[in-house]
Amino acid sequence: MVFTVSAIICSVLFAVSTVLCLIDSMHFFQLNSYRFDTHTKWIKENTRKYYLHAVLSVLALIAVFLEIPGQLKLFACAVIFALACPAEKPKKAKKPLVYTARVKRMLVTLALLILLMTGAGIIFVNPTRVSVYLLILTLIYTLAPVLVLLANLINKPMELSINNGYIKDATRILASCPDLRIIGITGSYGKTSVKYYLTTLLRAKYNVLMTPESYNTPMGVVKTVRGSLKATHEIFVCEMGAKWVGDIKELCDIVHPQHGVITSIGPQHLESFKTLDAVKSTKFELSDALPEGGMLFLNADDENIKAHGSTRPFISYSIDADADYKAYDISVSERGTTFSVRTPEGESEQFSTKLIGRHNVLNIVGAIAISHKMGITLKELKGQVRRLEGVPHRLQLSDRGDMTIIDDAYNSNPSGTKAALEALSLFDGYRILVTPGMVELGAKQNELNREFGRNAAKVCDYVVLVGQKQAVPIKAGLLDEAYDESRIFIADTIEEALSHVYSIDSQGRKKIVLLENDLPDNY
């Protein structure tokens, strides 16, 4: 009886600790986009996360093979699994695990795998052969992070079939709207802002649907079409993101855009693209997919777009270079921006917006160019530009009395950091930068973060760095410019960073805090 109770207690503690480990592993697998290669690379780079898991696994294995009675082995393993429960408990996350249908299916597969493995070991639950049962439990616990990948592999054919079904349904819905005009938007930076601005401008005349937030993957676009597209919509503005060569083509094969805009090309996601040339060819997959007569809009200020060139006619927009749609007389202050736009026909109009930064002018001019070519006059667009709101987490202003927050926390990049620092420089006050730095920049990551530090030194009165990894090159860049080291603080978490910001003595000046990037929990 005592042996049976001990076996039950040990089994329950094993189940709890293993489930907690599986949920934590599933969370990071989801953050790594369910990609085997990305996740295994992440595991190699974050082995410290699994040190305690490895130590507890080794201790359990030692207990299994010790020459002691079965009752004592059960007790020892029960103690180890009890210690594992708090150790494996997932930490508070900025972006918690989302229990999508895919995650639920993987959890069912994991449950079946574990039941199959533990079920096979139940026959050994007796005083003479308990070591075999405990060995099975220990191996399951030890391999829990790997079992997530195994469940994904098992489910892969089913997931592909389900996704293909969703894609077919979305293409059917799109085919049932023959008069719908579809505009694809891609770019290393600026695509989400142009999407929001364009949608606002087009609504002066049309019923417009856009992909919400950052729904720029195949399943995000498909979800938008299946859940939101109505027969009354006249234009669908579709943001197209990419991390791998062929991603834009895959999206174009689903929605078949008639018109497209490439906002920028830069060293974004170089970890997966490997080379800038691969980024260029991927972004121009949108151009290749447009039908004859479709309009292509290109940012004429982008050197990489100009270097790649276009094999088809295009409409250009800019704030610096000669272009079909050119912004000029730009005046930027902390209160907003005014500028004028000249069209290919020589028509011009002055615009004003509460948005700040020259880069925002460039994005707005791109949206004006498309809208004008879609039949909306500059005068009609003038009021719409005045109504433009800041895109969430992209230089979004928040005044809190004694402090102004410039929230640019979404997915920082080299071009974006320069624009954000330029915007910060417009404000009169004690300028504070809070940043974890930039990621997914491949071999250039340290170099570009060091350059970020050098640029920050010229603008910021104080710098708070988040996390130890990116802090090293950014701090080095700050010190390259003889920046006062006493005005640099390195925090482990964003919470600690913000707490420190409140304690900074701003010498009576209003604090202007730029939040530049906010990395998810897998960084």
- Amino acid present at 522: N
Per-residue pLDDT at 253 exceeds 70: yes
pLDDT for 167 equals 96
Report H helices in 316-444.
Answer: 358-373, 378-387, 414-425
What is the phi-psi region of residue 142: left when phi exceeds 0, alpha when psi lies from -120 to 50, beta otherwise? alpha
- pLDDT tens, position by position, 108-119: 999 998 888 776
**What is the spatial order of strands in the sheet that 430-435 belongs to?**
396-399, 403-408, 511-516, 430-435, 462-466, 488-491
Per-residue pLDDT at 179 exceeds 80: yes
What is d(CA 501, CA 465) in angstroms, rounded to the nearest whole number? 11
Question: Given pLDDT bands bounded at 50, 70 and 90, which one contains residue 371?
Answer: very high
The number of CA neighbours under 13 Å toward the Cβ of 383 is 7
Average pLDDT, the chain: 89
Instruction: Evaluate the CA torsion angle 29, 32, 36, 38 in order and state its sign.
Output: negative
pLDDT for 44 equals 86
Say whether 249 sits in a helix, a strand or coil: helix
What is d(CA 362, CA 353) in angstroms, rounded to the nearest whole number? 13
pLDDT for 474 equals 92
SS3 annotation, 345-358: CCCEEEEEECCCCH
What is d(CA 354, CA 171) in angstroms, rounded to the nearest whole number? 39
DSSP letter at 390 equals: P
Prediction pTM value:
0.81
pLDDT for 3 equals 61
Cα distance between the two ends of the chain: 49
pLDDT for 273 equals 80
Say whether 101 sits in a helix, a strand or coil: helix
Q: What percent of the chain has pLDDT over 90?
A: 58
The CA distances from residue 172 to 162, 222, 226, 249, 267, in Å, are 15, 11, 10, 19, 36
pLDDT for 398 equals 81
Contact 465, 471 (CB under 8 A): yes
The number of CA neighbours under 13 Å toward the Cβ of 282 is 29
What is d(CA 461, CA 278) in angstroms, rounded to the nearest whole number? 38
Beta pairing partners, 210:
237
The DSSP result for 279-316, as a single string, is HHHHHTHHHHHSPTT--EEEETT-HHHHHH--SS--EE
Per-residue pLDDT at 131 exceeds 70: yes
pLDDT for 336 equals 84
- Average pLDDT (17-21) is 93
Please give the structure tokens belonging to residue 381: 């667009």
Per-residue pLDDT at 54 exceeds 80: yes
- Average pLDDT (148-163) is 94
- Average pLDDT (167-185) is 96
What is d(CA 14, CA 122) in angstroms, rounded to the nearest whole number? 14
The DSSP result for 70-94, as a single string, is HHHHHHHHHHHHHHHHHHHSPPP-S
Contact 456, 478 (CB under 8 A): yes
**What is the spatial order of strands in the sheet that 208-210 belongs to?**
208-210, 235-239, 181-186, 259-262, 296-299, 315-318, 325-333, 336-342, 348-353
pLDDT for 314 equals 96
Please give the structure tokens belonging to residue 115: 């039941």
What is the phi-psi region of residue 442: left when phi exceeds 0, alpha when psi lies from -120 to 50, beta otherwise? left
What is d(CA 474, CA 449) in angstroms, rounded to the nearest whole number? 5
Quickly tell me which residue has 């493995």 as its tokens: 117
Per-residue pLDDT at 372 exceeds 90: yes
- pLDDT tens, position by position, 449-478: 999 999 999 999 999 999 877 788 999 999
Of 160-164, 168-172, 186-190, the poorest mean pLDDT is in 186-190
pLDDT for 333 equals 81
Per-residue pLDDT at 233 exceeds 60: yes
Question: Given pLDDT bands bounded at 50, 70 and 90, which one contains residue 519?
Answer: low
- Average pLDDT (266-276) is 78
pLDDT for 520 equals 53
Of 191-205, 229-243, 332-346, the poorest mean pLDDT is in 332-346
Say whether 361 sits in a helix, a strand or coil: helix
Which residue, among 427, 371, 417, has the nearest Cα to 394 in the 3D structure? 417
What is d(CA 97, CA 443) in angstroms, rounded to the nearest whole number? 30
Q: Which residues contact 500 (CB under 8 A, 6 or more apart)?
A: 464, 489, 491
DSSP letter at 264 equals: -
pLDDT for 464 equals 94
Quickly tell me which residue has 């929001």 as its tokens: 196
Contact 216, 191 (CB under 8 A): yes
Per-residue pLDDT at 522 exceeds 70: no
Per-residue pLDDT at 412 exceeds 80: no
Per-residue pLDDT at 230 exceeds 80: yes
pLDDT for 411 equals 67
pLDDT for 136 equals 86
pLDDT for 441 equals 76
- pLDDT tens, position by position, 75-84: 899 899 999 9
pLDDT for 163 equals 94
Backbone angles phi, psi at 229, to 5 degrees: -70, 125
Most confident of 63-67, 91-95, 366-370, 393-397: 366-370
